[in-house]
Structure 1
Amino acid sequence: MKVSTLYAPTLREIPSEAEIISHQLMLKAGMIRKAAPGVYNYLPLAWRTLKKIIQICREEMDAKGGQELMMPIIQPAELWKETGRWTVYGDEMFRLKDRHSRDFCLGPTHEEIITSLVRADVQSYRQLPLMLYQIQDKFRDEIRPRFGLMRGREFIMKDLYSFDKDEEGLEINYWKMYDAYCKIFERCGLSYRPVEADSGAIGGSGSIEFMVIAKSGEAGIAYCTACDYAANVEQAELKAIEVPAADVKELALVNTPNCRTMAEVAEFLGFEPEHAIKTLAYITDKGPILALVRGDHEVNEIKLKNTLDCLFLAMADDIVVREQMGSEAGYIGPIGIKEAIIVADHTVMNMVNTECGGNKQDFHFINVNPVRDFKPTIVADIRQIKEGDPCPHCGNPVATARGIEVGQIFKLQTKYSKALNAVFVDETGIEKPIVMGCYGVGVSRTMAASIEQNNDKDGIIWPAAIAPYHVVIVPVNSKDNRQIELAESLYNQLTAAGVEAAFDDRDERPGVKFKDADLIGYPLRITIGAKTLEDNLLECKIRRTGEVRYLKLEGCISVIKDMLLEL
């Protein structure tokens, strides 16, 4: 590609709308342009990278026995109503009506439609296992689209669905996909980590997310410093913390004037927050809820929601606390509370002579002992993991980091096959529901995540495998015919040898060409100048390291190809 004809309108200033580095650099490098909030045009440079990520996904899916198909973006509401997700999915779903007033949605995911497809054609165990995948756009009406391609309303995804006759088959395909995803992200040149995760709206019994480690990541991950354990902080399991035995004291209600927060109460009564019970009030479709954690801990709302198996969860306002629970905001506690399900973190149940809200203004209980003074409805792990907590597998401290989710695998089991009556007849003639799994890679998100992980002050640093072009050839003097002729010859030779090359033939100053080369992130920059031309040499700069090598013209093509293999 000659740069003079390349549609890559670079920018010199960072657009004010761009909050994170990938968004800034894709706009500056002329890779994307916004069509609407959360909706983007992919310009040629971006599309070349996306096609490479897509091809890597395709090759790894095919290698594991996946068969590619294409399903419709527009999906009938009837299928979603059969699974109950038409209302559960919420406002993130784009809904529309056709001219006959029939309800449809723009597919945020394809579990319903793939299951309905398979149920029509698969009747026997002899037709299983089956793995089907597609690569296409998905749509989610994010309340606040942000971070460019990280949280958009339209995005490209690879999704594969497995269909098996039993749990053993699901387990085989689940770990096949785990292996395939590791290969995908390794081939894309990403530093990533698989972590245990919550299944969310997709459902099922088990899930692993693939996280690209980056400071800009929206998700928190916790990982052990000694073993292989890693989990999304929303999912990370925690064991109950033991407390030394002590003589049980008599419960007392004490005056705590103007002390509403945990810090204020702790200072007034002279104790550390870790010795108190923090009580949070929620409203849910199951009714009002009290969640209890130790004073220095935080409630993990994903764990709490899963524990309750509720459809929605939101903090209760002062009116609900007062009128439904008979308490006062800032002074709520589990003793004597009315009309609420009490969910206690299992660490709370080990606490002795602790403190909690007194359920009336300016009062707290001291010397509180669970079971004696209150009995929770449910005891479970509902707290958020934090740096330094013990690993649930080996007990060593965990560390935390930020990550960008680029892929996730799920064991759906029979969640959708039962709802949609996708069944088969087994070897003994018994009809059973098909056992399913689903596996997604965010293709456009993977491109953005790569930039978040591979950049410097000058621009993008692409891994060679997904770079839009491998090499850019820059003649220093566009008026020097010898430089232009050599650049053109080298460009043709590289292209013939299968190296994706760009030739910056623009009549621009060398500094402008170098700046654009660094911004766009070509892995190698070959500079042709008067001095190197005289010496029959090429100046080759490696974008990632800044290292400059001088290559002899004779045999340079094979040397350049070998260099790219290192990148």
Structure 2
Amino acid sequence: MRWSQLYVPTLREDPADADAVSHRLLVRGGFIRQLMAGHYSLLPLAVRVRAKIVDVIREEMSRIGAQEFILPTMHPADIWHRSGRWDVMGEEMFRLKDRKGADIALGMTHEEIFTTVADELRSYRDLPQVWYQFQTKFRDEPRPKSGLIRVREFTMKDSYSFDADEAGLDRSFDLHHEAYQRIFARLRVPAIPVQASSGTMGGSASVEFMCPTEAGEDLVVHCPSCGYAANVEKATSRLAAVEDGPGLPAPERFDTPDVRTIEDLVRRHDVAADRQIKTLVYVVDDRLTLVLVRGDHNLVEQKLIDFTGATAVRPARPEEIKEALGASPGSLGAVGVKDLPVIADEALRGRRDMTTGANTDGVHVRGVDVERDIAVERWADLREVTADEPCPTCGTPLQVVRTVEVGHIFKLGRKYTETLGVSVLGQEGERVVPIMGSYGIGVERAMAAVVETHHDESGIIWPVSVAPFEVAVVALSTKDEAVVKAAEELYEQLRRERVDVVLDDRNERPGVKFRDIELVGIPFRITVGARGLAEGTVEVTVRATGQTVSVPVGEAAEHLRKLLVAAGEE
């Protein structure tokens, strides 16, 4: 490819609305342009990168025996109603009506649709099956941001496994786990596999592959010693043992007219936060529920959702709270409450001499023995883990890292095959419902994750595996016939050797060419100039290190080949 024929609209200044490194550099480098919030056009360089990412994924999916499909992106509402997810998905699902008034969804994911295809499986001998596709997904994100990291229209590699039993699912899940580790290693994305919530996908085991970046919106709890890692929605930790005093024989009320928060009670009444009970009121599947955590802890709402299995969870409104408990937030408590379910975090189990609201505005109670004075219906791990708490496995202080999810694998179970009536004939003639797994990678988000990981002040530093071009040959002058001839010959030689090369034949100053090549992130540059040719050499520059060496013209292609091999082995 010749640069003079390429459409690469590079920019000298950062876009004003870019809030992530990848957003800034992909726009500046002429890879993407925004059409509207959450919708991006991929320009030629991005298409080249995307194709290489797809090739890596496709190779690894083929390696585990997966077969490629292409399924529709528009789905009849009936299938989503049958699975129970038409309402669960909420406002993130794009919905429309066709000319006959039928409800249609734009596919957010394809569990239901792949399951309809599986309806033609007949026997246990047809299993296992692993099917996948590269398909556009649509999600009406409330706050699309950070360029390709959080969008409303994107390409997903989603695969689905169908097995006869749990042992088969375990194998399919493990094969995907290993494939994903190879994929992200080849893409040079430092993805951390972490335990995660299955959310609206359902199922049991769930592992996210998380790439550390300040542009991420997910927090991962990670142990540097033993490797324990979990999304904050799933993470746990050891808590230091607490020695409580005997407390009081019964809770004692005291006036707190100036208290509205945990911090107020600490500051004005000298009650430490870890000796307070924070009372939160939620509506869980239409039932008002009290949720208790320690005063210095935060509730992870997803843990509450996962624990209860509820389809709808929301904080109660002030008027609902007042009607049920007779007080406003700031003076709420569960002491003596009998007619509402109470769920308490495990950190409160066995605690005595605690303080909480009295359900009277401006009044609290102290000397609370949680198990004596509060009718806890269920105990659960509900709190958010914070940095430096001991690892639950080895006790080492935990780290909390900001990340973006680049892949997610689930053990779905039989939720979709049972609901949609898929079964096969078993070995003994019985009907067997296949068990499913679901496995996704966001293609454009993976592209952004590569940029988040590989860049410097001059621009992108693409790994060779996904670079739009592996090598750029630069003719410093387009008027010097010897320079042009040498650059053309090197370009053609590299093409014959199947190197992905671009010839920068533009009539531009050398500084403009070098800045563009650095911004775009091409791994290697061969510079052909009159001075070097007079000595029989060209310059070879490595983008990642900035190192430049002079190489005899006749050895340049071989030198590049060795660099490419070494880069591929790193």
Q: TM-score range by the shorter chain?
A: over 0.9
d(CA) in 2 for partners of 1:455, 1:312: 42
Is the contact between residue 286 and residue 310 of structure 1 (CA under 8 Å) also seen in structure 2? Answer: no
Identify the residue that residue 225 of structure 2 maps to in structure 1: 226
Is the contact between residue 94 and residue 141 of structure 1 (CA under 8 Å) also seen in structure 2? Answer: yes
Identify the residue that residue 351 of structure 1 maps to in structure 2: 351
d(CA) in 2 for partners of 1:425, 1:389: 51
Q: What do the CA deviations read for 1:234-282 (whole angstroms, capped 9, x no partner)?
A: 1113456532253232321111121111111012221321121112222
Is the contact between residue 69 and residue 133 of structure 1 (CA under 8 Å) also seen in structure 2? Answer: yes
Corresponding letter in the other structure for 1:26:
L
Is the contact between residue 242 and residue 347 of structure 1 (CA under 8 Å) also seen in structure 2? Answer: no
The two structures have a TM-score, normalised by structure 2, of 0.97
Identify the residue that residue 314 of structure 1 maps to in structure 2: 314
Q: Pairwise CA RMSD of aligned residues?
A: 1.3
Corresponding letter in the other structure for 2:220:
I
Is the contact between residue 23 and residue 149 of structure 1 (CA under 8 Å) also seen in structure 2? Answer: yes
2:359 alignment partner, SS class: coil
Identify the residue that residue 299 of structure 1 maps to in structure 2: 299
d(CA) in 1 for partners of 2:326, 2:163: 52
1:354-433 map, 5 Å? 354-433=354-433
Corresponding letter in the other structure for 1:532:
G
Q: What do the CA deviations read for 1:273-311 (whole angstroms, capped 9, x no partner)?
A: 112111222223241122211111110110011112112
1:351 alignment partner, SS class: coil
Deviation at 1:170? 0.4
Is the contact between residue 243 and residue 352 of structure 1 (CA under 8 Å) also seen in structure 2? Answer: no
2:370 alignment partner, SS class: coil
Identify the residue that residue 495 of structure 1 maps to in structure 2: 495
d(CA) in 2 for partners of 1:350, 1:262: 21
1:155-194 map, 5 Å? 155-194=154-193
d(CA) in 2 for partners of 1:326, 1:309: 28
d(CA) in 1 for partners of 2:319, 2:394: 45
Deviation at 1:122? 0.7
Identify the residue that residue 256 of structure 1 maps to in structure 2: 256
Q: What do the CA deviations read for 1:85-106 (whole angstroms, capped 9, x no partner)?
A: 1111111111111111111111
- Is 1:290 the counterpart of 2:285? The answer is no
- Is 1:32 the counterpart of 2:44? The answer is no
1:147 alignment partner, SS class: coil
- Is 1:520 the counterpart of 2:517? The answer is no
Corresponding letter in the other structure for 1:266:
V
Deviation at 1:409? 0.6
d(CA) in 2 for partners of 1:537, 1:292: 73
Is the contact between residue 238 and residue 381 of structure 1 (CA under 8 Å) also seen in structure 2? Answer: no
Deviation at 1:491? 0.9
d(CA) in 2 for partners of 1:334, 1:479: 84
Corresponding letter in the other structure for 1:227:
C
Corresponding letter in the other structure for 1:297:
H
d(CA) in 1 for partners of 2:90, 2:222: 32
Corresponding letter in the other structure for 1:522:
I
d(CA) in 2 for partners of 1:82, 1:544: 52
Identify the residue that residue 69 of structure 1 maps to in structure 2: 69
Identify the residue that residue 112 of structure 2 maps to in structure 1: 112
Q: What do the CA deviations read for 1:419-468 (whole angstroms, capped 9, x no partner)?
A: 11111121011112111101111111100111011111111010110000
d(CA) in 2 for partners of 1:48, 1:338: 63
Aligned sequence identity (%): 41
d(CA) in 2 for partners of 1:497, 1:313: 60
Is the contact between residue 222 and residue 398 of structure 1 (CA under 8 Å) also seen in structure 2? Answer: yes
Corresponding letter in the other structure for 2:431:
E
Between 388-397 and 103-112, report the one with greater CA deviation: 388-397
Identify the residue that residue 268 of structure 1 maps to in structure 2: 268
d(CA) in 1 for partners of 2:263, 2:305: 27
1:5-84 map, 5 Å? 5-84=5-84
d(CA) in 1 for partners of 2:283, 2:327: 14
d(CA) in 1 for partners of 2:216, 2:381: 25
Corresponding letter in the other structure for 1:171:
D
1:376 alignment partner, SS class: coil
| Number of aligned residues | 566
Between 357-366 and 127-136, report the one with greater CA deviation: 357-366
Deviation at 1:11? 1.2
Deviation at 1:185? 0.4
Is the contact between residue 212 and residue 402 of structure 2 (CA under 8 Å) also seen in structure 1? Answer: yes
d(CA) in 2 for partners of 1:552, 1:367: 84
Between 192-201 and 524-533, report the one with greater CA deviation: 524-533
The two structures have a TM-score, normalised by structure 1, of 0.97
Identify the residue that residue 439 of structure 2 maps to in structure 1: 439
- Is 1:143 the counterpart of 2:142? The answer is yes
Identify the residue that residue 91 of structure 1 maps to in structure 2: 91
1:440 alignment partner, SS class: strand
Deviation at 1:325? 2.8
d(CA) in 2 for partners of 1:182, 1:447: 16
d(CA) in 1 for partners of 2:558, 2:528: 18
d(CA) in 1 for partners of 2:455, 2:253: 58
Deviation at 1:368? 1.0
Deviation at 1:477? 2.3
Between 237-246 and 62-71, report the one with greater CA deviation: 237-246
1:400 alignment partner, SS class: strand
Corresponding letter in the other structure for 2:480:
D
Deviation at 1:387? 0.5
Is the contact between residue 407 and residue 442 of structure 1 (CA under 8 Å) also seen in structure 2? Answer: yes
Is the contact between residue 336 and residue 375 of structure 2 (CA under 8 Å) also seen in structure 1? Answer: no
Q: What do the CA deviations read for 1:158-206 (whole angstroms, capped 9, x no partner)?
A: 1111000000000011000000000000011111210011111111011
Identify the residue that residue 553 of structure 1 maps to in structure 2: 553
Is the contact between residue 241 and residue 350 of structure 1 (CA under 8 Å) also seen in structure 2? Answer: no
Is the contact between residue 282 and residue 314 of structure 1 (CA under 8 Å) also seen in structure 2? Answer: yes
d(CA) in 2 for partners of 1:104, 1:445: 26
Is the contact between residue 424 and residue 434 of structure 1 (CA under 8 Å) also seen in structure 2? Answer: yes
Corresponding letter in the other structure for 1:172:
R
Q: What do the CA deviations read for 1:302-354 (whole angstroms, capped 9, x no partner)?
A: 00111121122222232121112322221111113465321110111132201
Is the contact between residue 238 and residue 395 of structure 2 (CA under 8 Å) also seen in structure 1? Answer: no
Is the contact between residue 22 and residue 148 of structure 1 (CA under 8 Å) also seen in structure 2? Answer: yes
d(CA) in 1 for partners of 2:346, 2:211: 32
1:557 alignment partner, SS class: helix
d(CA) in 2 for partners of 1:488, 1:23: 34
Is the contact between residue 327 and residue 337 of structure 1 (CA under 8 Å) also seen in structure 2? Answer: no
d(CA) in 1 for partners of 2:384, 2:566: 41
Is the contact between residue 338 and residue 375 of structure 2 (CA under 8 Å) also seen in structure 1? Answer: no
1:210 alignment partner, SS class: strand
Deviation at 1:219? 0.8
Identify the residue that residue 209 of structure 2 maps to in structure 1: 210
Corresponding letter in the other structure for 1:66:
A
Is the contact between residue 275 and residue 295 of structure 1 (CA under 8 Å) also seen in structure 2? Answer: yes
Is the contact between residue 220 and residue 403 of structure 1 (CA under 8 Å) also seen in structure 2? Answer: yes
2:299 alignment partner, SS class: coil
Between 304-313 and 452-461, report the one with greater CA deviation: 304-313
Residue ranges of structure 1 left out of the alignment (5+ in a row)? none
Q: What do the CA deviations read for 1:479-517 (whole angstroms, capped 9, x no partner)?
A: 222111111111111111111111111111111111111
Q: What do the CA deviations read for 1:43-87 (whole angstroms, capped 9, x no partner)?
A: 110000000010111110111010111111111111111111111
Corresponding letter in the other structure for 2:479:
K
d(CA) in 1 for partners of 2:143, 2:382: 27
- In the superposition, relative to structure 1, how do residues 302 and 203 fare at CA in structure 2: closer, same or farther (>3 Å)? same
d(CA) in 1 for partners of 2:234, 2:103: 35
Corresponding letter in the other structure for 1:258:
D
- Is 1:133 the counterpart of 2:115? The answer is no
Q: What do the CA deviations read for 1:193-231 (whole angstroms, capped 9, x no partner)?
A: 100111111110111011112122111001112202101
d(CA) in 2 for partners of 1:539, 1:362: 77
